[in-house]
Amino acid sequence: MFNSEQIRSDFPILTRKVNGHQLVYLDNAATSQKPRQVIDALSSVYEQFNSNVHRGVHTLSMEATEHYEDARRKVAEFINAPEPETVIFVRNTTEAINLVAHTWAIQNIGPGDEILTTEMEHHSNLVPWQKVAEMTGAKLRHIPVTDTGLLDTSQLDQLINEKTRLVAVVHVSNFLGTINPVKDLADRAHAVGARILIDSAQSVPHMPVDVIDLDCDFLAFSGHKIMAPPGIGVLYCKRSVIQDMEPFLRGGEMVREVWFDHATWNDIPNRFEAGTPNFADAVALGAAIDYLNAIGMEQVRSHEMEITKYGLEAFQSLEYLKILGPADHTLRGGLIAFHSTEIHPHDLGTFLDQKGIAIRTGHHCVMPMHRKIGLPASGRASFYIYNTTEEIDLLIETLKAALTYFTKGSSS
């Protein structure tokens, strides 16, 4: 049973006031807040078994290793990865994608090959592929986005062809909110012998994601967006794809044997975790997963759908704001981006902050898509398990007050 009050009471930060008002945190797509259970799990590392992992025979080191590997097992189960070894701990989604770009991609992509992304990618899933194209002589192509914020799949037969080596696509857009048909794209990619990478930064924290069902080759997400601390992220790779991949970073722990002039590589996942890993935040990520599992990811998704539906309807009363992305809440994740011809988003963001409401304003690291629709920036309210319809009411009310304030010059 989904109990908002109970959930909210687990998040200490939600009790704080901002500018004299109760905090309304609607910037979850940027980063999420952390429940007491995650904060405690992080403290417990430093209070009880802090020690380097995989290196010691002493008790603390063995305990730290056990907790770290336990976190890996939890992540694997959470995304239904077939084995924990296919889960590589990295810093964040950006590092996960760069890892694939600088290992698998440069080893498998060559001149004349094609890399396919979409027009709605976060810079993290675009700029690395620009570099791979430059390094390998491959061509970078993009699936267009329709006026309604969906992927235009009408030209997919041409876009995914025998030259395509990789399809790199965002699962849920952090700008338009669109949920993309990644399973279908995976089938199409595999049908021409290409691989698929899914940027799951905005999906894994908010809905059930099953890597076997999606049949993806790579999947990336960030811990800080799923209630864990920043500095821990995940790259899932199919074993058959990374088994023989060259390492990304070189140094301790990723080696099997080292001589003065050469070295051999450890097995996965260690081969891709050079140096001391961020075991403390990995343990906290495990606690975040426990927390979400206790609620159930289906419940998380349906709560966010409810809030998003409510928000989409409520925004209709704001004639000066135009909502971006698909109109149907079932086709979107839990976020709503909007723009206004009357008021700059930064002014709106500042006005809302004065009332304790945190939203994101700017290009949200999706500059090309903003450019395509002729906007320098937009506003974005994004939701998580602790948000309520009352908070949406407050947002709408305050956005109404902002119009009065900015267009009539009176304070409210």
**Shortest separation between residue 197's beta carbon and ligand PLP, angstroms:** 11
Residue number, 324 or 403, with CB nearest to ligand PLP:
324
Residue number, 226 or 280, with CB nearest to ligand PLP:
226
Our measurement of the distance from residue 45's CA atom to the centroid of its chain's CA atoms, rounded to an integer in Å, reads 25
- Residue 392 interacting with ligand PLP (CB under 6 A): no
Which residue from 201, 204, 245, 335 is in contact with ligand PLP, where contact means CB under 6 A?
201
Which residue from 28, 98, 180, 222 is in contact with ligand PLP, where contact means CB under 6 A?
222
Active site (annotated) includes residue 365: yes
**Could you count the other beta carbons within 10 Å of the beta carbon of residue 257?**
9
- Residue 119 interacting with ligand PLP (CB under 6 A): no
Amino acid at the residue 248: F
Residues in the chain: 412
- Residue 361 interacting with ligand PLP (CB under 6 A): no
Q: Which stretch binds ligand PLP (CB under 6 A): 59-67, 86-94, 301-309, 318-326?
A: 86-94
Residue number, 136 or 203, with CB nearest to ligand PLP:
203
Which residue from 114, 199, 217, 281 is in contact with ligand PLP, where contact means CB under 6 A?
199
For residues 156 and 331, what is the distance between their CA atoms, to the nearest angstrom? 20
Q: Phi and psi (nearest 5°) for 128?
A: -60, -35
* String of contacts with ligand PLP for each residue 139-178, x by CB under 6 A: -------------------------------x---x----
For residues 259 and 171, what is the distance between their CA atoms, to the nearest angstrom? 43
* Pair 234, 207: CB distance under 8 Å: no
Query: With the C-alpha atoms ordered 364, 222, 23, 174, is the resulting torsion angle positive or negative?
Result: positive
For residues 221 and 236, what is the distance between their CA atoms, to the nearest angstrom? 9
**Shortest separation between residue 278's beta carbon and ligand PLP, angstroms:** 13
- Residue 122 interacting with ligand PLP (CB under 6 A): yes
- Residue 398 interacting with ligand PLP (CB under 6 A): no
DSSP string, 340-405: ESSS-HHHHHHHHHHTTEE-EEE-TT-HHHHHHTT-S-EEEEE--TT--HHHHHHHHHHHHHHHHH
Residue number, 226 or 396, with CB nearest to ligand PLP:
226
Place of tokens 């027009």: 119
* String of contacts with ligand PLP for each residue 305-344, x by CB under 6 A: ----------------------------------------
* Pair 127, 133: CB distance under 8 Å: no
* String of contacts with ligand PLP for each residue 27-56, x by CB under 6 A: --x---------------------------
Can you name the residues that pair with 339 across neighbouring β-strands?
322
Structure-token pair, residue 167: 């399809």
Place of tokens 């006005």: 351
DSSP string, 275-303: SS--HHHHHHHHHHHHHHHHH-HHHHHHH
- Residue 94 interacting with ligand PLP (CB under 6 A): yes
**Shortest separation between residue 29's beta carbon and ligand PLP, angstroms:** 6
- Residue 273 interacting with ligand PLP (CB under 6 A): no
Q: Which stretch binds ligand PLP (CB under 6 A): 92-100, 159-167, 318-326, 333-341?
A: 92-100
- Residue 124 interacting with ligand PLP (CB under 6 A): yes
- Residue 93 interacting with ligand PLP (CB under 6 A): yes
**Shortest separation between residue 362's beta carbon and ligand PLP, angstroms:** 11
Our measurement of the distance from residue 133's CA atom to the centroid of its chain's CA atoms, rounded to an integer in Å, reads 24
- Residue 270 interacting with ligand PLP (CB under 6 A): no
Structure-token pair, residue 109: 């992509």
For residues 190 and 362, what is the distance between their CA atoms, to the nearest angstrom? 36
For strands 255-258 and 263-265, give the pairing: antiparallel
**Shortest separation between residue 249's beta carbon and ligand PLP, angstroms:** 17
Amino acid at the residue 371: R
- Of these residues, 23, 106, 140, 365, which one is catalytic? 365
**Shortest separation between residue 51's beta carbon and ligand PLP, angstroms:** 27
CA distance to 2, 297, 314, 335, 401, per residue, from 317 (Å)? 28, 31, 6, 18, 13
- Residue 202 interacting with ligand PLP (CB under 6 A): yes
Q: Which stretch binds ligand PLP (CB under 6 A): 197-205, 270-278, 298-306, 345-353?
A: 197-205
| Catalytic site positions | 365
**Interacting residues with ligand PLP (CB under 6 A):** 29, 92-94, 122, 124-125, 170, 174, 199, 201-202, 222, 365
